[in-house]
Structure 1
Amino acid sequence: MGHPKSINDINAMDYEDFISHFGNAIENCSLIAAAVWRFRPFNDVVHLHEALCSFVDDLPVSVLSPGQEGILRSHPDLAGRVAAAGALTAESTLEQRSAGLSQLTTEERVELTDLNERYRGKFGFPFVVCARQNKKNSIFEGLRARLNNSTEEEVAKGVQEVKKICYLRLLDLVVHEGIESKY
Structure 2
Amino acid sequence: MTARGDFIATFGGVFEHSPFIAERAYDAGLIFVPLTAKGVHAAMVSEFRKAGAGERLAVLRSHPDLAGRLAIAGELTEDSKQEQAGAGLDRLSAEEHARFTTLNAAYTTKFGFPFIIAVKGLNKDDILAAFETRISNSAEEEFATACAQVERIAHLRLLALLPQG
**TM-score category, normalised to shorter length:** over 0.9
Who is 2:114 aligned against?
A: 126
Q: C-alpha offsets along residues 113-149 of structure 1, whole Å, 9 cap, x if unaligned?
A: 0000000000000000001132110100111111100
Who is 1:40 aligned against?
A: 31
Aligned match of 1:97 in 80, 85, 103?
Answer: 85
Instruction: State whether residues 119 and 126 of structure 1, in contact with CA within 8 Å, keep that contact through their aligned partners in structure 2.
Output: yes
Partner of 1:131, secondary structure, is coil
Who is 2:67 aligned against?
A: 79
Partner of 1:133, secondary structure, is coil
Q: What TM-score, normalized by structure 2, do the two folds share?
A: 0.93
Distance 1:54 1:161 in 2: 15
State the 1:17 CA deviation: 1.1
Distance 2:137 2:90 in 1: 27
| Unaligned residue ranges in structure 2 (runs of 5+) | none
Q: C-alpha offsets along residues 58-82 of structure 1, whole Å, 9 cap, x if unaligned?
A: 1223xxxx22211110100001011
Aligned match of 2:19 in 22, 27, 30?
Answer: 30
> What are the equivalent positions in structure 2 for 1:32-71 lying under 5 Å apart?
32-38=21-27, 39-42=30-33, 44-61=36-53, 66-71=54-59
> Could you say what the CA RMSD is over the residues aligned between the two structures, in angstroms?
1.3
Q: C-alpha offsets along residues 67-113 of structure 1, whole Å, 9 cap, x if unaligned?
A: 22111101000010111110100000000000110000000000100
Q: 1:28 to 1:89 in 2, by over 3 A?
A: same
Distance 1:141 1:42 in 2: 41
Distance 2:8 2:105 in 1: 32
> What are the equivalent positions in structure 2 for 1:132-147 lying under 5 Å apart?
132-147=120-135
For 1:69, give the aligned amino acid. L
Who is 1:15 aligned against?
A: 4
For 1:36, give the aligned amino acid. A
State the 1:15 CA deviation: 1.6
Instruction: State whether residues 31 and 43 of structure 2, in contact with CA within 8 Å, keep that contact through their aligned partners in structure 1.
Output: no
Partner of 2:52, secondary structure, is coil
| Unaligned residue ranges in structure 1 (runs of 5+) | 1-10
Q: C-alpha offsets along residues 19-64 of structure 1, whole Å, 9 cap, x if unaligned?
A: 1100111111111111111322255321110111111111223xxx
Q: What TM-score, normalized by structure 1, do the two folds share?
A: 0.84
Partner of 1:132, secondary structure, is coil
For 2:59, give the aligned amino acid. I
Who is 2:152 aligned against?
A: 164
Name the % identity: 38
Q: How many residues align?
A: 162
Who is 1:88 aligned against?
A: 76
